[in-house]
């Protein structure tokens, strides 16, 4: 059975993790893909761990794997752990909030399943809406994406997107180092250097959340992203 590994870095996302898992399990994956859900609890201090345990207990027929860190290390470090645990032929990164919709999985998988791509990015800005069009984060994202494109030769609209889908044999060729949100420019730079790599970008749905609702990325991460663009 061909498997999609879904890696979910999670830090203090107890309000959204349960509904997110419901959405993931409700997706009817194309080509009868099996799914493996790998949740990396990055030393959460809320009810995240209890929610994962409860969900695993009540969904024993589903392949849900939990790994809890004893120290908070960041999204990039959590993804590295998830990749080391992944057994699927394909991998998708899924944030534990509800900004992105798992119903887009099939859209993102299509170019890979039809052997037209090895990596697919889900852009929040190809399907432009008033919600994404004028925000400050949209402007910063556009700047970082443009700088990344200048370094990699790609033509992406959303380098910072969470939704990145890979063939496992591609991402396993890369040594990742960034512990926090620097993962996004690092993986983009290193993927772009792989010989013969085929990268596609497709529009996805997006519902932005505020800092009051739990958004975590900050200005220091923007500075780090710039550093990573120049470094890698």
228 SS3 class: helix
What would the mean pLDDT of 175-190 be, rounded to a whole number? 94
**Tokens matching residue 25:** 């399990």
Q: Over the stretch 79-108, which tens digit does the pLDDT of each residue have? A: 999 999 999 999 999 999 999 999 999 999
Q: pLDDT, tens digit, for every residue of 20-67?
A: 999 999 999 999 999 999 999 999 999 999 999 999 999 877 899 999
User: Domain locations in the chain?
Assistant: 3-231
Return the higher-pLDDT residue of 219 and 142: 142
pLDDT the model gives residue 4: 98
Average pLDDT (104-125) is 97
- Residue 214, pLDDT score: 46
Residue 133 banded pLDDT, cuts 50, 70, 90: low
Q: Is residue 100 within 8 Å of residue 143, measured between CB atoms?
A: no
- Side-chain half-sphere exposure of 185, counting CA atoms within 13 A: 26
Q: Cα dist. 232→14, 19, 115, 185, 186 in Å?
A: 34, 36, 28, 8, 6
Q: Do residues 25 and 59 lie in contact, with contact meaning Cβ atoms separated by under 8 Å?
A: yes
Measured between its terminal Cα atoms, the distance across the chain in Å is: 36
Mean pLDDT of the chain: 90
> Which of residues 61 and 4 earns the better pLDDT score?
4
Tokens of 228: 């990573």
Question: How far is 185 from 232, CA to CA, in rounded Å?
Answer: 8
Find the mean pLDDT for residues 146-158. Answer: 96
Class assignment of domain 3-231?
Answer: alpha beta
Query: 38 Cβ partners below 8 Å, 6+ apart?
Result: 5, 6, 7, 8, 65, 67, 82, 85, 86
């Amino acid at each position: 059975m061909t498997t999609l590994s879904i890696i979910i870095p999670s830090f203090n996302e107890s309000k959204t993790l349960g509904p997110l898992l419901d959405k993931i399990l409700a997706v009817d994956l194309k080509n009868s893909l099996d799914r493996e859900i790998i949740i990396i609890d990055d030393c959460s201090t809320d009810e995240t761990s209890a929610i994962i345990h409860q969900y695993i207990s009540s969904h024993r027929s589903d392949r849900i794997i939990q790994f809890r860190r004893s120290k908070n290390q960041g999204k990039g470090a959590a993804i590295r752990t998830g990749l080391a645990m992944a057994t699927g032929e394909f991998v998708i990164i899924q944030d534990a909030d509800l900004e992105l919709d798992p119903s887009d999985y099939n859209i993102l998988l299509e170019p890979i399943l039809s052997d037209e791509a090895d990596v697919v990015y889900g852009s929040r800005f190809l399907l432009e809406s008033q919600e994404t069009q004028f925000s400050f984060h949209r402007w910063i994202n556009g700047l970082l994406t443009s700088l990344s494109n200048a370094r990699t030769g790609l033509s992406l609209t959303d380098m910072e997107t969470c939704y990145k889908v890979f063939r496992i044999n591609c991402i396993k060729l890369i040594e990742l180092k960034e512990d926090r949100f620097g993962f996004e420019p690092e993986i983009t730079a290193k993927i772009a250097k792989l010989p013969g790599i085929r990268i596609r970008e497709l529009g996805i749905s997006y519902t932005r959340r505020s800092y009051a609702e739990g958004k975590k990325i900050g200005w220091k991460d923007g500075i780090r992203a710039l550093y990573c663009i120049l470094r890698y």
